[in-house]
Amino acid sequence: MAESVLRKPAKSIRSFNHAFASKFAKSMFFTISGLVILSFIATRMFTHVDLNLYGYMVGTFVFIGGFFYRFIAWGERPPTKIIIKKGIKLLGRKSTPKTSVEHLGTYQFIWNRGIYRWTQHLLLGWGVILSCFVTFPLVFGWMYFTMEEGGYYTVVGMGINLMTVNADGILAFFFYNALNFTAIMVIAGVCMALYRRLKNMQARAEQNFMYDFLPLYLLLFISVTGLLLTFMNVFLHGQGHYVMSLIHQYSVIITLIYLPFGKLAHIPFRPLSVFARNYREHYAEQSMKECKVCGEGFVSTEQSKDVIDVLNTNDITFNMEDGFHLAELCLPCRRKYRIARFSGFATHQVKTKEANQDAKG
């Protein structure tokens, strides 16, 4: 009797999961349903819907579909499963807030590469993020403005009147021009990135148009057309606004559709870097794996074990004739061991370090 009671929840969960064709379908269903419910609440039962933003909403739904497809396909890989599973358990670490700020806020991990690249990433990253924070609430009706008598606007958030601002005041000015400010940030960041990729010889050798330059051109086009909309409204009294608004809208939609499948996908994936950092630090504090050749600790014992397990899962074995697994060597010794396999000389046993072995950045 007790066994049958215990089995029912698991059976009901399996039946519930079988209601969907795949994990992708289930994720999409709950996400879209959640967005619709939030919009229903925020727009006071769809009584405050801006149909001019309908195209952006459709583009966002397509982006969400592409993101889940890419994330689930990536998340099903054995190494990703390990990072996600163990990363979730380690979110309670005391260092998680600091790590989150460094990786998602200040981009401290790029600082070692130079102040130029740090500034470039800061402008691009926060320009895009702040644009999303402004755009998505407006698109889904989570935030909108109503005009009151006497030249005042009421800011409404999630269906609740938050504040009343003077239409000609300083707060209203920042509300009106929030996307203009972020567009300037993105343009500056894109220009810095383009300059580096065109002038730096190493960067030029590693770049290709579709993967590296196209995302920058898309962001640049969106930002420039967005600024042109403001220019036409302020200085041309709205002339050409309709055509430019369509061009801008189409550019945003195309970028949203492209985003999950190109280089820009690292923006929504970036929070998982906190998982990876916690994983490395936590298990490194427990015990370090010593290199089988030089004896130096190079990764945590747990990480070395996980690498071997993942390789075995994929039927890839690197058990060497010398009695160790290739994953049990540090990177310098691993490189020298691979050379030894071709040269016949045991270069991995030479204690001399590589010239750039301890380079940072």
Task: Give the domain ranges of the chain.
Answer: 21-273, 287-349
Q: How far apart are CA 276 and CA 283, in angstroms?
A: 11
What pLDDT shows up at residue 343? 66
pLDDT digits (tens, 9 = 90+) for 18-76: 777 777 788 888 888 888 898 888 888 888 877 788 888 888 888 988 888 888 888 88
Residues 226-244: b if buried by 16+ CB within 10 A, e if exposed: bbbbeebeeeeeeeebeeb
The Cα-based distances of 74 to 26, 67, 78, 85, 353 in angstroms read 17, 10, 9, 14, 36
Side chain identity, residue 221: F
Q: Count the helices and strands in the chain (H runs, E runs).
A: 15, 5
Choose among 242, 241, 217: nearest CA to 230. Answer: 241
Q: What are the two backbone dihedrals, phi and then psi, of residue 151, each rounded to the nearest 5 degrees?
A: 75, 40
Name the more confident of 205 and 54: 54
pLDDT digits (tens, 9 = 90+) for 118-139: 999 999 999 999 999 999 998 8
What pLDDT shows up at residue 359? 47
Confidence of residue 198 (pLDDT cuts 50, 70, 90): confident
Q: Are strands 297-300 and 160-166 parallel, antiparallel or unpaired?
A: unpaired
What pLDDT shows up at residue 232? 92
Q: What are the two backbone dihedrals, phi and then psi, of residue 262, each rounded to the nearest 5 degrees?
A: -120, -160
Provide the residue count of the chain.
361
Confidence of residue 331 (pLDDT cuts 50, 70, 90): confident
What pLDDT shows up at residue 352? 59
What pLDDT shows up at residue 358? 52
Q: How far apart are CA 330 and CA 348, in angstroms?
A: 10
Percent of the chain with pLDDT over 70: 89
In the chain, what is the greatest distance between 2 CA atoms, to the nearest angstrom?
87
Percent of the chain with pLDDT over 90: 25
Looking at residues 279-306, what average pLDDT do you find? 87
54-75 and 115-139 helices, crossing angle to 10°: 120
User: Of the given ranges (41-50, 151-160, 257-266), which has the lowest mean pLDDT?
Assistant: 41-50
Looking at residues 346-360, what average pLDDT do you find? 57
Q: How far apart are CA 40 and CA 160, in angstroms?
A: 13
Beta strand spans in 87-203 (E): 143-148, 152-157, 160-166
Q: What would the DSSP string read from start to end of 11-24?
A: HHHHHHHTTSSSHH
User: Of the given ranges (2-16, 103-117, 280-294, 302-316), which has the lowest mean pLDDT?
Assistant: 2-16
In this model, does residue 361 exceed pLDDT 50? no
| Whole-model pTM over 0.85 | no
How far from chain centre, in Å, is Cα 24? 19
In this model, does residue 6 exceed pLDDT 60? no
Q: What are the two backbone dihedrals, phi and then psi, of residue 289, each rounded to the nearest 5 degrees?
A: -85, 125
| Residue 72 token pair | 């689930």
Residue 54: CB partners within 8 Å, gap ≥ 6? none
Residue 157 β-bridge partners = 143, 160
User: Average model confidence (pLDDT) for the chain?
Assistant: 84
3-state secondary structure at position 156: strand
In this model, does residue 171 exceed pLDDT 70? yes
* Half-sphere CA count of 339, side-chain side, radius 13 A: 12
219 burial type by CB count under 10 A (0-12 exposed, 13-18 middle, 19+ buried) = buried
Looking at residues 253-265, what average pLDDT do you find? 89
What pLDDT shows up at residue 115? 93
How far from chain centre, in Å, is Cα 280? 20
Confidence of residue 10 (pLDDT cuts 50, 70, 90): low
Residue 166 β-bridge partners = 152
Choose among 51, 50, 52, 49: nearest CA to 245. Answer: 52
Name the more confident of 206 and 163: 163
Name the more confident of 150 and 264: 264
In this model, does residue 201 exceed pLDDT 80? no
In this model, does residue 314 exceed pLDDT 70? yes
The Cα-based distances of 317 to 76, 313, 337 in angstroms read 21, 10, 16
Residues 124-147: b if buried by 16+ CB within 10 A, e if exposed: bbbbbbbbeebbebebbbbbbbee
Looking at residues 243-268, what average pLDDT do you find? 90
DSSP alpha helices (H): ranges in 43-114? 54-75, 78-89, 96-100, 108-111
Name the more confident of 28 and 191: 191
Name the more confident of 356 and 111: 111
